[in-house]
Structure 1
Amino acid sequence: MQATLNQGLIDYLGASPSPFHATASLAQRLRSGGYERLDERESWQLQAGGRYYVTRNDSSIIAFQLGTQPMSEQGIRLVGAHTDSPCLRVKPHPDLHSQGFWQLGVEVYGGALLAPWFDRDLSLAGRLTYSRDGHIESQLIDFRQAIATIPNLAIHLNREANQGWAINAQKELPPILAQVASQDASDFRALLAEQLSREHDLVADVVLDFELGFYDTQPASQIGLNGEFIAGARLDNLLSCYAGLQALLAATPEQSCMLVCTDHEEVGSSSCCGADGPFLEQVLRRILPEEDALQRTINRSLLISADNAHAVHPNYPEKHDGNHGPKINAGPVIKVNSNQRYATSSETAGFFRHLCLTEEVPVQSFVTRSDMGCGSTIGPITASRIGVRTVDIGLPTFAMHSIRELAGSQDLAHLVKVLTAFYRSAELP
């Protein structure tokens, strides 16, 4: 099972170079698992025992199973994650020319570690909007092959490089696409039209706009002398999306279950499809239009907010609290913060810990050092918007927000096992 899950994760990462592709890949897997697509613009005819999913902005997805037990008595078991990852997004008018090179202007999306982006084989993927025969349409595109790179400046010309230097995102990050004889030979929108034709056999009248990000073409892989690690891009947080999907597909029909994977977490979640937007609440109200039943259900429900945790790094152990340094391959981590950067309470942490003990899954705790700031997740945002009890958890990783992150090859199976047990659990606290 562990090997199958790890290879499935590697395949999912490869199919998901952008939040749009990550969502489309989840949708395809849900359809194969018997889930029916819903359209927010249409009336929903939901049936007891039905399995459904709905997307918004092509980059967020909510999948749910309506159990045979009444939701107002049993609640809903929710797992939340996010589809986006830090990257370099292409600007609306990106064409740049310098010294005979064609480059693209980029904007940093999220809190990216920038140094690892240099000297990588980069490709481009995302969503393209265009007009065709008088109609406005959108399509996902993925160049797949390496079409760009950001070369480092040689050490001979930057003797202070190994002492650290501030990277200027405006000046130093534009990737090189090609050498061109003149500026007239480069037109990014024409390049996108060619890719649309090549990939989808569609001829656009005009490329209207796009949301595209660069990504590293090196595929994810299992590495280490004994295969202890999974290395790859976008483990934060497609690792949790994939684990939640596997658990949901294994859910038994008795309980009502939901997987919520939303976009824009890395930039605050404030959007129509982000966790700080109305997406989840609106879906819940369509499932339970009667207010009293909705409120009773929410107050009997529980959300597991699954987002990666910081593993204690052997070169930087001082960055962790001495009693709260999660280890890779030692199980999922309960994340706690007294200032509500995480939404965990003693009740929800106790439930998750008990679930892990029952399933013989190792479990760890993380609290940031008292003299350091703490990141946050969709957990507090969803808890405050919906009023649902929440526990923040995640798998320990290295190099979070790098172009290539590292997780444990044993931990995915641990997380899938406990999330599957959660979806099947007869009682919530």
Structure 2
Amino acid sequence: MKNERLINDYKAFLDKGKTERECVAQIISLAQAAGFKDISECQSLKAGDKVFVQKMNKAIALFVVGSDSIEKGMNILGAHIDSPRLDVKQNPLYENDFLVYLNTHYYGGIKKYQWVTLPLAIHGIVCKKDGSSVNVCVGESAEDPVFCISDILPHLAQKQMKEVASDFISGESLDLICGSGIPSKKDDENSDKKDKPSAKKAILAIIKEKYGIEEEDFGSAELEIVPAGAARDLGFDRSLILAYGQDDRSCAYTSIRAVLEADSGKRTSCCLCVDKEEIGSVGATGMGSHFFENALAEVIARLPEGYSDLSLRRCLAACNMLSSDVNAAFDPMNSDLFDKANASFLSGGIVFNKYTGSRGKSGASDANPEFIARLRGLLDKANVKYQMAELGKVDQGGGGTIAYLAAKYGMNVLDAGVSVLSMHAPWEITSKEDIEQAYEAYKAFLTLE
């Protein structure tokens, strides 16, 4: 491993950024330390200036202004910072036969059975009617309690074991155990229910004492359930990383680092980190929104030539973009799912996906070969390792990224990211070599003219 500092910083980023809000907070802190300013603080911009624009604390765009006219386009690294998880519902707390649960709704493409019997943590924010808010992070510190979803013991699981994997754990059964009560004695069964202790009330009292949160405050909360624990080295040789959320924070972090360390050149550099990719890039903070073009409009309005819609459109059409998103790593234990000649391998370097989509490239962004050839030449010159791949065999699977939403502007877009084993599982696997090669590739890409 050549860049141990990068790897350690990356693991620390994963540990502190298990939600989109936590990622954006870290990115802003890193950006400000590197000389970036909130665009609201800048009345005008010139070559060399560094600014950021954020949206709802869940999406952010960083810009390093180049010396060329903005109409000549930018070099963009675009990633997403949301990951599959469980979300707490708005009326979540209930008691069922002396156990207290939080009701959840899963987010993104998960295998539901992978989330049971794991130590889980709660991250997020609770917004109160008086305008105040409470940040929540429970389960990460050694002193914290953790939470768990129970499963049936094998002795009683004969029926469950006959069901298909997609069905034997239902979405409505992914509820989090967050406390317990003591069963009443038989003599007390007919006593006044008002006199019986309530485990739910006891949990609410703890929550109110520790956080000042009432039960109705869950209605304006954004609480995410994620695996508890830190990123760890994997294997005797420590060549791999085991961590939650590496899809797509492996690409987001390396893209951010590349832009933070980029020198001002002719073309403006941009790093875009958006939300909601795992559920279709929807909402005000997803790539399907107008966040990116609105952020760019704010930049153009502060440049000497001033804003016009034509300048904005010309800029977008002239951009080059790497959709910094992960690809499925070849799995020797399930090799029949892959076309081995067109698969990506752990430690094989950054992965170029000419197209994504599924079943006849449906929903794909299909990159132009001229653009790919320029990138190949650039990375060969920079001695960066890369591989060409697709996500599984034809008709076997497939997937999508934010690339097609950027391509609608007419820019050059290519998916380029890190290989991931056990993608979308609570704990995902990447190679340290690939993290380093992605970082080097993104740095080289920002010099493209």
TM norm structure 2: 0.86
5+ residue gaps, structure 1, are 198-202
Which one of the candidate residues 394, 400, 407 is aligned to 2:430?
407
How much does 1:127 deviate?
A: 2.0
SS of the equivalent of 1:34 reads coil
Aligned to 1:349: 372
The range that moved more, 222-231 or 353-362, is 353-362
The whole-number CA distance in structure 2 between the counterparts of 1:284 and 1:421 is 23
Secondary structure at 1:315's aligned position in 2? helix
Identify the range of structure 1 (334-343 vs 63-72) with the bigger mean alpha-carbon deviation.
334-343
Q: C-alpha separation between the residues in 2 aligned to 1:418 and 1:222?
A: 23
The answer to whether residue 411 in structure 2 is matched with residue 388 in structure 1 is yes
Tell me the distance in 1 between the aligned counterparts of 2:61 and 2:208: 31
Q: Does 1:81 align with 2:79?
A: yes
| Residue aligning to 1:326 | 344
How far is 1:353 from its partner?
Answer: 2.1
Question: Partner residue of 1:110?
Answer: 108
In the TM superposition, what is the alpha-carbon distance from 1:387 to its structure 2 partner?
2.8
User: After superposition, what is the alpha-carbon deviation per residue over 1:100-134, rounded to whole angstroms, capped at 9, x for unaligned?
Assistant: 110111001011122221111111001221133xx
- State the one-letter code of the partner of 2:137: D
- Report the CA distance shift for 1:150/1:43 in structure 2 as closer, same or farther (over 3 A): same
* CA deviation after TM superposition for structure 1 residue 390, in Å: 0.5
Do 2:98 and 2:199's aligned partners in 1 also have CA atoms closer than 8 Å? no
Q: Residue 47 of structure 1: CA displacement?
A: 3.7
Once the two structures are superposed, residues 400-422 of structure 1 have per-residue CA deviations (whole angstroms, 9 ceiling, x without a partner) of 11110000111111011111111
Give aligned-pair identity as a percent. 21
Task: Tell me the amino acid that sits aligned with residue 88 of structure 1.
Answer: L
Q: 1:350 to 1:195 in 2, by over 3 A?
A: farther
The letter of the residue matching 1:13 is L
The answer (yes or no) to whether the contact 1:95–1:187 under 8 Å persists in 2 is no
Q: 2: CA distance between counterparts of 1:233 and 1:6?
A: 15
For the residue of structure 2 that corresponds to 1:323, the secondary structure is helix
1:57 maps to amino acid: M
Q: Distance in 2 between matches of 1:2 and 1:237?
A: 20
Aligned length: 414
Match of 1:309 in 2: 327
Establish whether residue 279 from structure 1 lines up as the match of residue 291 from structure 2. Answer: yes
Aligned-residue RMSD, C-alpha: 2.3
SS of 1:125's partner is strand
Q: Specify the SS of the correspondent of 1:369.
A: coil
1:20–1:127 CA contact under 8 A, matched in 2: no
| 1:158 has 2:176 as partner | no
Superposition TM-score, scaled by structure 1 size: 0.90
Residues 193, 63 of structure 1: alpha-carbon distance in 2 compared, 3 angstrom cutoff: farther
> Aligned equivalents of 1:167 and 1:26: distance in 2?
39
Question: Equivalents in 1 of 2:126, 2:245: separation in Å?
Answer: 21
1:270 is aligned to: 282
Q: Who is 1:49 aligned against? A: 48
Cα distance in 2 between the residues matched to 1:59 and 1:16: 11
Change in 2 beyond 3 A, CA 1:223/1:292: same
Distance in 2 separating the partners of 1:12 and 1:70: 34
Output the CA distance in 2 between the equivalents of 1:187 and 1:271.
37
Match of 1:242 in 2: 253
Point out where structure 2 has 5 or more consecutive residues left out of the alignment: 183-196, 301-306, 356-360
Residues 411/375 of structure 1: CA separation in 2 closer, same or farther (3 Å cut): same
Counterpart of 1:412 in structure 2: which amino acid?
Answer: I
Distance 1:374 1:189 in 2: 44
Query: Structure 1, residues 327-367: CA drift from partner, whole Å, max 9, x if none?
Result: 10010111133545234221232222222212112211122
CA distance, structure 2, for counterparts of residue 329 and residue 323 of structure 1:
16
Aligned to 1:186: 201
On the 8 A contact 1:340/1:380 being kept in 2, the answer is yes
CA contact (8 A) 1:122 1:214 kept: yes
Shift of 1:215: 1.2
Which moves more between the two structures, 170-179 or 226-235?
A: 170-179
Q: Give, in whole Å, the separation in 2 of the partners of 1:167 and 1:46.
A: 57
In the TM superposition, 1:85-164 aligns within 5 A as 85-132=83-130, 136-143=131-138, 144=140, 145-159=144-158
Shift of 1:48: 3.3
Contact kept? 1:335, 1:342, Cα under 8 Å: no
Which of the pair has more CA radius of gyration?
2
| Paired position in structure 1 for 2:188 | none
Equivalent position of 2:263 in the other structure = 252
Indicate the residue corresponding to 1:2 in structure 2: 3
Letter of the 2:245 counterpart: R
Quote the offset at 1:193 in angstroms: 4.6
Cα distance in 2 for partners of 1:190, 1:290 equals 56
1:295 and 2:296 matched: no
When residues 46 and 215 of structure 1 are mapped into structure 2, their CA distance, relative to the original with a 3 A threshold, is same
* Alpha-carbon distance change, 205 to 317 in structure 1, aligned in 2, over 3 angstroms: closer
User: Post-superposition shift, 1:92?
Assistant: 0.3
